[in-house]
Structure 1
Amino acid sequence: MSDTASLADLVRDWDPPTVRTSRRVDPWLAAAFADLVDAAPPDLAEGAPLPPLWHWFVLLGHPRTAELGEDGHPADGPHLPPVPGRRRMFAGGRFTQHAPIPFGALLHGSAAVASVTPKSGRTGEMLFVTVRQELRIGDDPAVVAVEEQEIVYRSEPEGAQRRVIPRPEAGEPDPGGAWRRSLATGTVLLSRFSALTYNGHRIHHDHPYTTTVEGYPDLVVHGPLMALLALELPRVHAPGDTVTEFGYRLSRPAFLPSTLLATGDRDADGATIAVAAEGVAPSLTATVRFR
């Protein structure tokens, strides 16, 4: 595969279905994540609102072990493109909330592939897949929130030269910011987050695989964990405001060993936030909008 057209041909007839899931919003899951990051939990009473993006702990898939690939990720799935030697990277997303998602409610998710865009860059071919999910509560047909996730896929079939990702150089100045939150990372933290999100990908827990097969310098911090850490800033520093929009971009991985530093500043109707391993350029940049 040497040009974008060949990658486009692989997905030309791909017709991914809509996937629907339903689960009750259990306060245990929220309490578990708060304890994971040593944070005060939100109000867990029935009817209290679930913090934004915490539905990630509710609407989880649970593939059978026999359905997993070499990397610990599902070998196949309704929203996984038919790309040989598929390598996956979480690139960012957008979240818009129209109404609260209350604890104790039955939450319904309806997810479909919104766009598929082949691109070619200096590192070769890539496939950008955007998955859009609409969230509803109980029997109410109204959409309470919309999430879009952008996933980038690379093709590395058997025999292809493996990429090598160097550890980023330290030396970046402290970004400052009135809002600040740090989180020390380690193998236990990554393992617990993988367990909480039912994520078996080996780049988060298997060091030999991560370095020799995927080409990373060390275990990789979960992109969703960094997004949730960014949202801890408005949750703690602006508790009286309601987040209605959250957009984030993941520009580079963060690796162990590192301490993540989330920094942010309030503006007229929201905030700008960055998350980085200390001394390194940000891995995640985000904007928040309040009601």
Structure 2
Amino acid sequence: MSDSQTDVMDPARARALQATLGLPTTIEDGDPLPPFFHQVYFWAPEPPARLGRDGHPKTGIGLIPDMGLPRRMWAGGRLEFHGPLRAGVMAERRSVVESTKRKEGRTGPLAFVTLRHEFRQEGVTRVTEWQDLVYREDPDPTTPAPMPPQAPTGEDAAETWIFGTTRLFRYSALTFNGHRIHYDMDYSTGVEGYAGLVTHGPLLAQLLMLLAERQLGALSTFAFRATAPLMHDEEAQVCWREDGTLWVRGPDGRQCVTAQAT
């Protein structure tokens, strides 16, 4: 199954993301967009009747098949940058389901969906992105949560972040992401079993990409994987090492995201 959408890369929306990230609001028509800023475009709004309990569009009615499991997570992805997307220029996103599979994990059944997106402007592919989603059962409160991996130390550069509820809300709004784990405390803790509101994996990946771009210049590739959730009120270290390895470290030393940039 495939899907195609078009959108004008409105510079006002890009500036709103810059403001949300605490950056100067500089983007104007014709400027190259920073890597991953395409996340705030290509909205696919659905009426309430077509939403699942988690606030996402129901699976099985659009591009993503119904895998029979209620909890969705963005597990990671990779990107190839062929050239910059530019603000104020019409763009097309072509999407396809590249693979689906089910397997048995340590905590029960898992389903994996990989989407491939191609972002084109003026007839040329500028970015190719693979998005890895995982679906799982609701948590069993009697089963201990798996221990997250420990993050590396010895980084060559790091930034300290605490995200808070307002930044999570603004990022959800800019990306038109209705997933309730990012703004509905009762749902996040009572239904999906988290310790608070969950900081978006793509938001963490965005910060890693911007850090990598400051170190390397224009990026050629970027791959990331989410390994543990980070709550809205936790302090995080966004880390870079000179070999192109990046990661997000939580306050207890756990690794939340790992990434590689070239």
* TM-score by shorter chain over 0.5: yes
Q: Residue in 2 aligned with 1:222?
A: 200
2:131 pairs with 1:146 = no
The 5-angstrom pairing of residues 138-177 of structure 1 reads 138=122, 140=123, 142-155=124-137, 166=145, 175-177=153-155
Using structure 2 for the length normalisation, give the TM-score. 0.91
**Rg larger for:** 1
Give the drift of 1:162: 6.1
Equivalent in 254, 257, 262 of residue 281 of structure 1: 254
State the distance in 1 between where 2:203 and 2:54 align.
19
Match for residue 207 of structure 1? 185
Q: Which runs of 5+ in 2 are unaligned?
A: none
Deviations 1:63-115 (A, max 9, x none): 12232122111123423322334211111000001122111211100001001
Q: CA RMSD in A?
A: 2.4
Is the 1:167–1:217 contact (alpha carbons within 8 Å) kept by the matching residues of 2?
no
| C-alpha distance 261-186 of structure 1, shift in aligned 2 (>3 A) | same
Matches within 5 A, 1:84-163: 84-138=68-122, 140=123, 142-155=124-137
State the one-letter code of the partner of 2:107. T
Measure how far apart 1:143 and its partner are. Answer: 1.9
* Alpha-carbon separation, structure 2, partners of 1:236 and 1:188: 26
Size of the alignment, in residue pairs? 261
Distance 1:187 1:167 in 2: 26
Q: Whole-Å Cα distance in 1 between the matches of residues 246 and 144 of structure 2?
A: 25
Q: Closer, same or farther in 2 for the Cα pair 1:163/1:55, shift >3 Å?
A: farther
Partner residue of 1:25 out of 2, 5, 9:
9
* 2:64 pairs with 1:80: yes
Q: Which residue of 2 aligns with 1:68?
A: 51
State how far apart, in whole Å, the 1-side matches of 2:68 and 2:101 are. 17
Letter in 2 for 1:57: V
TM-score, normalising length: structure 1: 0.82
In structure 1, how many angstroms separate the alpha carbons of the residues matched to 2:68 and 2:135?
10
Q: Secondary structure at the match of 2:45?
A: coil
Structure 1 stretches lacking a partner, 5+ long: 1-16
| Identical pairs, percent | 33
Note if contact 2:69-2:135 (Cα within 8 Å) is conserved in structure 1.
no
- 1:257-284 CA deviation, whole Å, 9 max, x = no partner? 21221010223xxx11101223331111
